[in-house]
Structure 1
Amino acid sequence: MAGPHGSRRRRLRRAVLVTCVVLAVLLAVLPHPAITRPWIMPAVQSLVPVLSVVAGLSALLVLVFRQWWAAGVLAAGAVMGLLPTLVPLEPLGAGVGAGVERGTEAEAGALTVLSLNAEYAGVDADALAAAVGAGGAGGTRDAHGSSGVGGVDVLVLVEADEDLVTALQERGALDGLPYRTETIPEEPQGGTAGGAVILSAHPLRSEGVLPRFATHRHFEQPVAVVEHPQLGDVRVVGIHPVPPIGDDFVPSWDDTLRGLDGWQAAHADLPLILAGDFNASLAHPQFRGLADGFTSAAADAGPLPGPTWPVGTWVPPFTAIDHVLLRGLVPLDYERLDFPGTDHRGILTTVAAERVTGVR
């Protein structure tokens, strides 16, 4: 007959197994429901990569105590939770038979894009000016139409204002970016966080701002067509849904991401760059739906390119909500940049034409 100690050990093992099963199921399911009630759901989903790592480490701890089944179940849940958050190395939703060849830069040209949330226009103008490169189109350009090292062809700023643009101009950072979208209103839609601008080294045709998808609050999201000498016309959109925090903001965030998905599907006539602060990561099904068919510039850095927010706070960066999504283009490089004065990392990427070559 088993003694009381053996009985307690069995009960403890069962309790550990049941706990691990419940946690594994919750973690595996968490990245998939596109629900906004309760409003805390998108915030919890943004933690999926962190929770998956914690679950994986916990599985190792359980393994130390020889709880084989419990450790295996928890590790499986961690993997299933993490998988949807990995950056696809091929366009989301692309058919396995679609062959995509990266044309050489000499054939198709290249476009260097810097995208940044300036956090209420508080980004350090000197640091940003240095990153932009005071030369742009007026500086030394290579044979492919790119500004070369240190030069930016397209600058997308969200949470910006005209004072920031003026500060960059005074530092010579915009001498090579003479084309831009409309003046940022003094009181933009959505308040001080709602201002945005696209600046370009190449001629630019403004197409205004995206429609208002959100029912409660929205930020202005500028649209422009950049006329590149080799790539031809490329449509660029400065993306910035409201953050998914609170009963009012979460439905507006959801409406904007879904509205963006419909808008991009209806604008398939040109190569498309969606750049900015999406306030959403691959842990959110709404964002994965929008990104379906696009290539993330982060794919050049592999499936785990690293988080972009928050930076410079007591909380370490834990989520990637700043993105550059490409359709009809492919990334040639990818870099995350830190700037004083903003809690977002900037995204710097060079893109080139995508050529579909047929079935593999």
Structure 2
Amino acid sequence: MVRTGVSILGWALLAAGVLAAAVLLVLRQVTEVHTWHHLLIAAATFIPLLWIPVLVGCLGLILVLRGRWRLLGAVVLIASMVPFAWPLRPLPERSDAPVAVGSALSVLSLNLQYGDADLEEVIGLATDEVDVLALQEYTPAFEAELEASGLLEQFPHRAGEARAGAAGSVLLSRTPLELIAQTEDTVFANLIASTAVEGTVWHLGVIHTAPPQMGADVWLHDATAVQEMAAPYLTENLLLIGDFNAIDRHDTMLRLTADGDLEDLAARHPGEGLPWHPTWPVGSVLPPFARIDHALVSDTVVGGTPRFESITGTDHKAVHVEVSEELHR
């Protein structure tokens, strides 16, 4: 009876693990599938967790096998985990690392979740070293709170505007801003503005694309609009930062970075450890498992790995990056 129960559990784990792993493998390899349906977009969010169903399936195999055959199951388990552990090994520093020149630019990005993010915590992150705030879901009520706090006096220059609900996006800067591009017919506001910091001209984009639950067509449309908006500025000092509503493995993000014109600063760099920095959801019953907030830079920009901070009142982590102009690679 005990053996029968173990076998049933083993077959259940094996079947569930193999099925889930197969689905995630297809979603990882054939990314066009993401654009078919919003549930496929949601499922693809779990691609970085592919190791979990593989582990479950291998454990099920061990329970199903008997006697010495279980040793084979253990070998399969170890062999299956190697591809997931191998990329996490320490890497040597590159000898051809980019050399930064000119002034540095510090940008803090946050999705305010309908303007409900804790004002004091946001002010605490907006230190003197921060040059620009890139805020999504920027509402009139939150703007009034910022004005009352005096923070807008420190960031007197603006591109974008407050809007009701989740539609508002804004860049708040210590230096003058000039709005140079914005998307049309997107669910939320997406825009690019230029500014000069100590003689270096920057093109900054605050991004907030449609979430999958609004439909795969809308999700793809908004991401495509952002790509088209950014295209004329890929040879400039360009930083796109914000809530892309997609992980780096999603079809839309891969399209943005496929040609090498844009680099994800949170992608793994030589000498770094774990590359997975989930930014959503924060403050829910589930721990953060998806990195949908990104900082993308053009080939003329170099930057370190972003810092991520949790803020009360919003389901996104804040993203803080520092970038500078690149001399060579």
Aligned equivalents of 1:251, 1:178: Cα separation in 2: 37
Alpha-carbon contact 2:27-2:44 (below 8 Å) kept = yes
Query: Do the aligned residues in 2 keep the contact of 1:278 with 1:323 (CA within 8 Å)?
Result: yes
Higher mean C-alpha deviation, range 163-172 or range 308-317? 163-172
Q: What is aligned with 1:324?
A: 295
Partner in structure 2 of residue 197 of structure 1: 170
Counterparts of 1:117-266 in structure 2 under 5 Å? 117-133=111-127, 136=128, 151-184=129-162, 186-187=163-164, 192-212=165-185, 218-230=187-199, 232-246=200-214, 249-266=215-232
1:331, CA displacement in angstroms? 1.6
> Is residue 265–residue 306 contact of structure 2 (8 Å, CA) maintained in 1?
yes
Alignment of 1:296-315 (within 5 A): 296-299=264-267, 302-315=273-286
Size of the aligned set, in residue pairs, is 312
> Residues 177-223 of structure 1, C-alpha deviation per residue, up to 9 Å, x if partnerless?
12111432x45xxxx111110011122111252233x5xxx111122
Q: How far 1:269 moved relative to its partner? A: 4.1
Q: Deviations over 1:17-58 (max 9, x none)?
A: 787665544332222332333331000000222343342354
Alignment partner, residue 270 of structure 1: 236
Give the aligned residue type for 1:211: E
Contact preservation (8 Å) 1:110, 1:352: yes
d(CA) in 2 for partners of 1:82, 1:29: 21
State the shift of 1:63 in Å. Answer: 4.4
Question: Hey, what does 2:45 align to over in structure 1?
Answer: 46
What is the correspondence of 1:13-52 to structure 2 with a 5 Å cutoff?
A: 23-32=20-29, 33-35=31-33, 36-52=35-51
Gaps of 5+ in 1: 1-8, 90-98, 137-150
Contiguous gaps of at least 5 residues in structure 2: 1-5
Please report how far the alpha carbon of residue 130 of structure 1 lies from its aligned counterpart in structure 2 after TM superposition: 1.2
| C-alpha distance 117-75 of structure 1, shift in aligned 2 (>3 A) | farther
Q: TM-score, normalised by structure 1?
A: 0.74
Q: For the structure 1 residues 37 and 268, does the alpha-carbon distance in structure 2 shift closer, same or farther, using more than 3 Å as the test?
A: closer
CA pair 283-208 structure 1, distance change in 2 beyond 3 A: closer
Q: Find the counterpart in structure 2 of residue 140 from structure 1.
A: none
| 1:147-189 Cα shifts (integer Å, max 9, x gaps) | xxxx2111000001232123223223233212111432x45xx
Of 61, 77, 98, which residue of structure 2 is paired with 1:101? 98
* Partner deviation per Cα, 1:78-113 (whole Å, 9 max, x = no partner): 7779999x9xx9xxxxxxxxx65222xxx4211111
The CA distance in 2 between the partners of 1:260 and 1:74, in whole Å, is 42
Give the Å deviation of 1:244: 0.3
CA distance in 2, matches of 1:166, 1:208: 26
Change (3 A) 1:81 1:23: farther
In 2, Cα distance between equivalents of 1:208 and 1:258: 14
- Cα gap change, 1:18/1:155 in structure 2, threshold over 3 Å: closer, same or farther? closer
Residues 63/262 of structure 1: CA separation in 2 closer, same or farther (3 Å cut): farther
Using structure 2 for the length normalisation, give the TM-score. 0.80
Could you say which residue in structure 2 is the equivalent of 1:6? none
Pick aligned residue for 1:113 from 107, 126, 139: 107
Answer whether contact 1:100 1:354 (CA < 8 A) is retained: no
Give the Cα–Cα distance (whole angstroms) in 2 for the partners of residues 20 and 343 of structure 1.
29
On the 8 A contact 2:13/2:59 being kept in 1, the answer is no
- 2:295 maps to amino acid: V
| Equivalent of 2:248 in 273, 276, 282 | 282
Post-superposition Cα deviations, 1:247-299, rounded to whole Å, max 9, x if no partner, equal xx321111121232233233234211111100000231221111332222214
Change (3 A) 1:57 1:71: same
CA distance in 2, matches of 1:195, 1:311: 21
Worse-superposed segment, 171-180 or 157-166: 171-180
What letter corresponds to residue 205 of structure 2 in structure 1?
Answer: V
TM-aligned CA deviation for residue 76 of structure 1: 6.9
